[in-house]
Amino acid sequence: MKIGIYGQFYHKNSGIYIQQLLDILDNNDVEVVIEKNFLELIHLHDEIDKSYSHFSTFEELDTSYDLFFSIGGDGTILRTITYVRDLGIPIAGINTGRLGFLATIQKEEIQDSIDLILKKKYVISPRSLVTVETVTPTDEFGVLNFAMNEIAVSRRNTTSMVTVHTSLNDEFLTSYWADGLIVATPTGSTGYSLSCGGPVVMPDAESMLLTPIAPHNLNARPLVIPDDTEIKLQVTGREDSYLVSLDSRIHTLPNEATVIIKKAPFKINMVVLEGNSFLKTLRKKMLWGEDKRN
């Protein structure tokens, strides 16, 4: 078995859990390859006798990997997908962060969780992505033109709102006068979109969400659309440019640049352990069913 490991940060008190993970994998003769910068952080904070292979780029990975561990929070998983991309390698998130809708393996449960994974007691939850491109082809976004949570357009260096002219399959929808507009996947429905009043959507729903950010036209409401819809956005405002964010990666585009957003041609495979589910995670993270008056 061959497993890749990626992490962004070395969280305080997380060393014991990282060491526990590596020990379990070593004891089960698992081939472990660690992202180079994360491996350097581990060596900086811990004394690890064994030397590990490492990778630095997507080009160094291939389909020989059985699994990828992402150590951190949901943001770390969003970084992990920039390495995995369309290789189809399943990703398991070990949560050393806070909320964790994607990183559902708790650090205190590493032993039991890894046992389940090694025994293949898990299912794969395919997650849809969205891509962005400009009407006039440029290399603005490069190969990392995709996002698993959301693509958002927003105002730049101004307190003034922007106007987001929006069309669906070349039919005009509306012009949002707001701080911006979020185009979210079902996975991203529990992220930025949720904080802006968007609905929660099941991960396997074939849909996308349009969620305005602090709209001035108060009748503007989040909209759920089929995921085969092509979305065209034209942004105008007092500034001569605006921001486009793909999960946590930010680009600046001039106002004359019209962007097209649509479903990506590949999916990301998330690991869901036996006994877990999206609904269970939702109840736990959102505190549904817990009434403090009782």
Which single residue is written with the structure tokens 């081939």? 31
Rounded-to-10 torsion of CA 85, 89, 90, 96? -60
122 in a known ligand binding site: no
* 46 labeled part of a ligand binding site: no
How far apart (Å, rounded) are the C-alpha atoms in residues 193 and 179? 13
Strands 122-134 vs 171-178: parallel, antiparallel or unpaired: unpaired
98 marked as binding residue: no
Do residues 224 and 198 make contact, with C-beta atoms less than 8 angstroms apart?
Answer: no
Catalytic, out of 26, 46, 74, 204:
74
Is 150 among the annotated ligand-binding positions?
yes
Strand 67-72 versus strand 122-134 pairing type:
unpaired
Active site annotation includes 74:
yes
Tell me, what DSSP letter sits at residue 162? E
CB 67 within 8 A of CB 75: no
Tell whether 74 is in a known binding site: yes
Task: Tell me how far CA of residue 102 lies from CA of 138, 245, 271, in angstroms.
Answer: 32, 19, 9
Alpha-helical runs (H) found in 54-157: 74-84, 110-118
DSSP letter, residue 225 = E
| 75 appears as a binding residue in the annotation | yes
Phi, psi of 27 (to 5 degrees): -65, -20
User: Amino acid identity of 251?
Assistant: H
H or E element: which one contains 20? helix 15-27
Q: Is residue 195 a known part of a binding site?
A: yes
Q: Is 128 one of the annotated binding-site residues?
A: no
Annotated binding-site residue? 194: yes
Helix, strand and coil percent figures for the chain, each rounded to 5: 25, 40, 40
- Does the annotation place 192 within a ligand binding site? yes
253 a known binding residue? no
Question: Residue 9 — left, alpha, or beta (φ > 0 → left; ψ -120 to 50 → alpha)?
Answer: beta
Mark the binding-site residues, compressed into ranges.
74-75, 79, 149-150, 179, 190-195, 214
Mark the binding-site residues for NAD(+), compressed into ranges.
74-75, 79, 149-150, 179, 190-195, 214
Q: Supply the residues annotated as catalytic.
A: 74
